[in-house]
Structure 1
């Protein structure tokens, strides 16, 4: 989309520091693992993970380090991170149409943020692997029948019957193959012309064009098209500039299942480092960030950029300890701290966290997840979120960074390119409680639809631009 400035150089000493003493890809076995399914056949699980360990990596170490370099630039204030995609991917969505729809809305948001702020945007999808979800309860009860909770397609099925809800180790292998298929489509689209800046009008959906945000997007697309024409008229060979015709979308997911991540952990002889090759960026959830837990142990030893979800129960002391455990060498681009504190609370909870991390000498990317702290059950019985609450938390996020003199580095959003009715609000055909059931299709948490996402991007770009101008 936009050529990134040269980010800080990552030397072998700071970017590929050795794993913690005593770490191995299996050392997490000696630590308690939260949020794990109860597989009925441990031998089947072992068979599947041994099969996965023989498969090719989904992403390569060079790509992973490219992302670290770009994130180092974001942490230094020279960029902005957009991490977005499905709450919980479904295997059935790993089709060309499904991947194309998610990529389209991410590209739209990225161009709005770039055009509005003047900063390059690093694009990371919750895609090609976000098949698992932590749950607040291990079981679910319907009409007096209690069954295991649905934990995502990588674990079990959503249908409420004993066979579907039984954890199935073979789903790990299916997740790998669906991730591979989605990655193939992503690479073809991002390198094959779909992400060409000359296609900015084509990214807008007909259902969104009639909204104020859609019309505003069309105006921005007109300006971009005119700028490209101007450059060409001035003698710039725009056809010879790959950055105008291609883009890179990195992948990410919550590293919820250590057995799966271990099976896809690889040692790179050239770089003398371990990499988690299931995605470019892996994150640890708010429910699995225990300092002595299996998830922190496993990811502490891989060289990927790591995300950590930071919920309202996180204390400054907790966060300092996690940063020290996961990034003891203060490596550029290593940590992405994703705050999910809730509207009305971020303004009070975030500043002490920012100070604690800064005073400890860490320079992470700070990203705002305005989704998970603002979820509630509507009167109609649907889990939902209000667009106004999401926007409020983003405003509080920027306000806290302005107060502390730190860089608000990104957004972490759950969204879809489909015309769903899962979140309340939006200026186009506003979604109210009575309409939530019209197209409520999420596998777990409610997502912004394309029109709501675009509206949010314009609001965020305005806030970011004001912050940069202050």
Structure 2
């Protein structure tokens, strides 16, 4: 991630100034999952301030990512999207950011070998501060308060004052995202991402007897690296990687003020992140969220669940990407392990038959959530793997391209998802259940998933 820098050849990351010199207006459309701000004057002041702040990402970078997403759509790259379910201000520490990036890098090395192609790394990072909720309120005992909608809006603490939506949090989210991006740049461009270091980290993972089944694949990667070294590959060029920033474009009072006009092309870009998506709960035709992503020039995504009507998916795709720009639209499918083989084919078939070019990415997390017997919201590792397996099978049967993976993960050793080689059980969930929203794969489970998916990729 190198906003403002040149590429290794000096031209792949053009810096173009983004300004608000051209007026940006937004139609009055229904918008779901929006906070009710009690002080509209304060919101207006914050919006005006956000509109004057520098962009978090640049238009030229978004264009490069769109090209990379087009490569994935054509089977010439594989996408890995991963990061927190919901970022928090308190967790935006150097150690936490480092561990998330480390996990993403470790997974990408394994997937790169398995896919035999570049991996496009998109972090759920530097903007994933808001979450949709099934209810507007939360009740504990006899007390009912507004639901926690993420640190972008209010506080998780269950008190009347904490749960009041505060527009000042929009500014704090901007500054926290800026600091996060600066640190990610330092990690990914300063040697932390050196391929040799990342491979050594993965050797540590394999050294655990619980992961011995992946030893052969790890040895194959080691052999490939030694071959590159013998051939004189310049490892200095492998010390830097690109990690792009992505998040759900949920709270429009944050996204709209950070939309800028590119001075070179006159086109609008969402400068809150390189890649933004619309979630399953807000992807209404005629709604404000699809309208927003249809107007910005970034590569964008739409989450698609098992109840989606194929005709509606086609309508959404044509609304968001009427010109069929390669890499512009990603459909992130979240079907559930038990439904993916039945629910996904009609959608893929309809989109393909309509001649619509998209990047297909699998989200195996959101369709596999349930409440454990101990009362924790959780997911089974085996269900996550099964949905990925079904995703690949469907695309293989239809002759289409499975373009990537979208997972909620953390670099910490939490106990939020059941199973995996470390055998997290129901009784273990209470040990380190730290998420404020959805359960995430821990560091070990994330790496295990990468090895499992790499095995699937090598067998294609």
Match of 2:128 in 1: 130
- 1:399 and 2:393 aligned: yes
Provide the C-alpha distance between the structure 2 equivalents of 1:380 and 1:50, rounded to a whole number of angstroms: 46
Cα 1:292–1:24 shift into 2, 3 Å? farther
Which of 424, 442, 446 in structure 2 is aligned with 1:449? 442
Which of 291, 299, 309 in structure 1 is aligned with 2:293? 299
Match of 2:138 in 1: 140
Match of 1:426 in 2: 420
- 1:170 and 2:164 aligned: no
Which of 369, 383, 387 in structure 1 is aligned with 2:363? 369
Structure 1 residue 205 displacement after superposition: 9.2
Count the aligned residue pairs: 441
CA contact (8 A) 1:198 1:225 kept: no
Cα 1:87–1:271 shift into 2, 3 Å? same
- 1:438 and 2:436 aligned: no
Q: TM-score, normalised by structure 1?
A: 0.90
CA contact (8 A) 1:426 1:455 kept: yes
Structure 1 residue 102 displacement after superposition: 0.2
Q: CA RMSD in A?
A: 2.0
Q: Equivalences for 1:347-362 in 2 at 5 Å?
A: 347-362=341-356
- 1:461 and 2:454 aligned: yes
Structure 1 residue 200 displacement after superposition: 2.0
Cα 1:233–1:452 shift into 2, 3 Å? closer
Which of 88, 99, 102 in structure 2 is aligned with 1:101? 99
Provide the C-alpha distance between the structure 1 equivalents of 2:37 and 2:206, rounded to a whole number of angstroms: 44
Provide the C-alpha distance between the structure 2 equivalents of 1:332 and 1:49, rounded to a whole number of angstroms: 33
Structure 1 residue 456 displacement after superposition: 1.1
Q: TM-score, normalised by structure 2?
A: 0.92
Match of 1:86 in 2: 84
Structure 1 unmatched runs, 5+ = 2-8, 10-22
Cα 1:218–1:208 shift into 2, 3 Å? closer
Structure 1 residue 230 displacement after superposition: 3.8
Match of 2:270 in 1: 276
Provide the C-alpha distance between the structure 1 equivalents of 2:457 and 2:337, rounded to a whole number of angstroms: 18
Structure 1 residue 206 displacement after superposition: 6.1
Structure 1 residue 299 displacement after superposition: 1.3
Q: What SS class does the counterpart of residue 92 from structure 1 fall into? A: coil
Structure 1 residue 283 displacement after superposition: 0.2
- 1:314 and 2:308 aligned: yes
Provide the C-alpha distance between the structure 1 equivalents of 2:200 and 2:158, rounded to a whole number of angstroms: 40
CA contact (8 A) 2:106 2:199 kept: no
Structure 1 residue 216 displacement after superposition: 6.3
CA contact (8 A) 1:211 1:451 kept: no
